[in-house]
Amino acid sequence: MTERIAPSRTEAQQRVDDIHAFRNEFARLADDGVLRLDAAQQAALEKHHERLLAEFALLFDVDRDSRAKQLSLGMRVASFLGALALAASVFFLFYQFWGHFGETAQVAILIASSLASFGLTIWLQGRDATGYFTKLAALVAFACFVLNITMLGQIFNITPSDKALLPWAAMAFLLAYTCDLRLLLAAGICCVIAWVQARVGTWHGVYWLHAGERPENFFPVAALLFAFPLLVTHRRFPGFAPLYRIFGLLCLFIPMLILSHWGQASHLDLDHGLIEGGYQVAGFVAATLVIWLGARRGWPETVNTGIVFFVIFLYTKFYQWWWEIMPKYLFFLIVGLTAVLILVILKRLRRTFRPSAGEGAP
């Protein structure tokens, strides 16, 4: 018999929601006379569900009803705003009194603040069932670490470099995977994006701070981010894989959108009009493939991202073609009819991927 793996808080909350959904549907089936259990089976089922709910509430402080879920949303907002406020407080506190300390004291304060905030995060992580205080401390710890690297560079007059992005990313990923915090995962991904595009830019002889002026520098990291969840499983972190895919697609589509209107930013030594036209076509093709792949694999965030950029590419072309020469009522009529056409196509696509009778959903 295989040992059951302990769920994460996200998985526990999903299980609680599934239990409530099952109870509601079972009640409807019983009212319709489709499915009924005898008294012993009903009691065993209720006992099992209550045991699970009590266990999850004890271990993870999950939301057991809709009112608790609404309060949890407020707690998440308060935790996020509190973390931003505390991080800003640390930043301005350092700069307010920084000149009053000697060099040795400055280094000691920076190291101590980073270690103390990180230690507080680890200490809370084992004691905070809700996770809100842990996430707040983790965001402050990351802010202290970023401030640490930045100000140590200023103290010792180190030339700014993109290499600082690597320890920032490592710290963000460490805290994100330790505390199951998607906001810090996004911060780590942003650091990786900045570092990779800076490296690609320097390989082409561009100073790292100006590497972002060449949008094609983002294509390698786009492929890396999109493929990473396929190579590394994230079953214990349900929200992480979609975040990687979203950032990967953003690093693909945003540069394509820029290059479709600004061909001179390309590395390609071709006519600017040809470059812009090529990226316009590539944008439509890539968006279509992304929508198809997302629908095929059951990735709703991929489908939605593909649809958004397909519409953006389409409407920007409409604007280029017809805004100046067409009556405005006719222009918006065409835009509206195009939206209807997109709805029809997506409806047909949804039917294509709908499971047949007797087949489970993907």
Q: What residues contact residue 129 under an 8 Å CB cut-off, 6+ apart?
A: 58, 59, 60, 61
User: The whole model's pTM is what?
Assistant: 0.80
Say how far residue 91 (Cα) sits from the centre of its chain. Answer: 25
Whether the pLDDT of residue 60 is over 60: the answer is yes
Across 49-55, average pLDDT: 83
Give me the chain's average pLDDT, please. Answer: 84
Each residue of 282-318: pLDDT tens digit?
A: 999 999 999 999 988 989 999 999 999 999 998 888 8
Each residue of 189-211: pLDDT tens digit?
A: 999 999 999 998 888 777 877 77
Whether the pLDDT of residue 351 is over 70: the answer is yes
Sign of CA dihedral 251, 252, 255, 258: negative
CB 219 within 8 A of CB 251: yes
3-state DSSP call for residue 266? coil
Across 32-46, average pLDDT: 83
278: pLDDT confidence band, cut at 50, 70 and 90? very high
CA 253 – CA 248 distance, rounded (Å): 9
